[in-house]
Amino acid sequence: MTADIAMKLEWAIGRDSCSNVSSNICGQNSFCVDSIGGLGHLCNCSDGYVGNPYLNGSKGCQDADECLDPEKGPCVPVAHCQNEVPGYKCICPFGSTGDGKRHGSGCRKILQVIEAVLGMGKIMLLCVMWFYCALKKRTLIKLKEEYFRQNGGLLLKQQVSSIREGADHARIFSLEELKQATNNYD
């Protein structure tokens, strides 16, 4: 019977931390990192670079072309991936907006954005129209009340209410009731 043994190997260069070594200890496009174990240091390639962080030139950290595999690349399928040094840029097609990244906002058609904005605009317009109509109606009611008072309506109302019960009494008709009763003043 054989047993599988797992082993974890951690290593570091020297015994000094990054703050105690020369700033150019690591190669181009790389940076120094203190060892997890506490003694020594390591070098890592900067974001957007791959290779050997201890060397310079063509054998050291080189730009990683994130756009090589469009199926697994960082951009959504409709976006165009453009490699940059370092990193990449996702470009959405004409008529779209967004960052084009799989783990970002992706690409959305501008038409969808415009439709959403127009929908919100319609709702706001309806609210403004409703408010305007309510304000207009309120103003009209106040104006009718003011004209009623100016033209002796309160006095007429008092006289009508003071007529005895058994006698013929007068009634005040509204403008709409008069139009309907006279067939539009015919």
> What is the pLDDT of the chain when averaged over all its residues?
82
Give pLDDT, residue 170: 62
Least confident of 49-58, 62-71, 130-139, 155-164: 155-164
**Spatial CB neighbours of 16, under 8 Å, sequence gap ≥ 6:** 40, 41
Q: Please tell me the pTM assigned to this model.
A: 0.45
31 CB burial (10 A radius; 0-12, 13-18, 19+): middle
Under 8 Å CB-to-CB from 85, ≥6 apart: which residues?
48, 63
**Is residue 128 very low, low, confident or very high in pLDDT (cuts 50, 70, 90)?**
very high
Q: What number of helices (H) and strands (E) belong to the chain?
A: 3, 8
Q: ∠ CA 7-52-50 to the nearest 5 degrees?
A: 100
Task: Go through the domains of the chain in sequence order and give each one's CATH number.
Answer: 7-64 (2.10.25)
Largest Cα–Cα separation, the chain: 123
**What percentage of the chain reaches a pLDDT higher than 90?**
12
Give the Å distances, CA to CA, from 102 to 3, 96, 180: 43, 15, 69
pLDDT of 123 reads 92
Determine the Cα–Cα distance for residues 170 and 66; give it in Å rounded to an integer.
92
Nearest to 54 by CA among 62, 46, 45: 45
Return the bridge partners of 62, or none.
Answer: 50
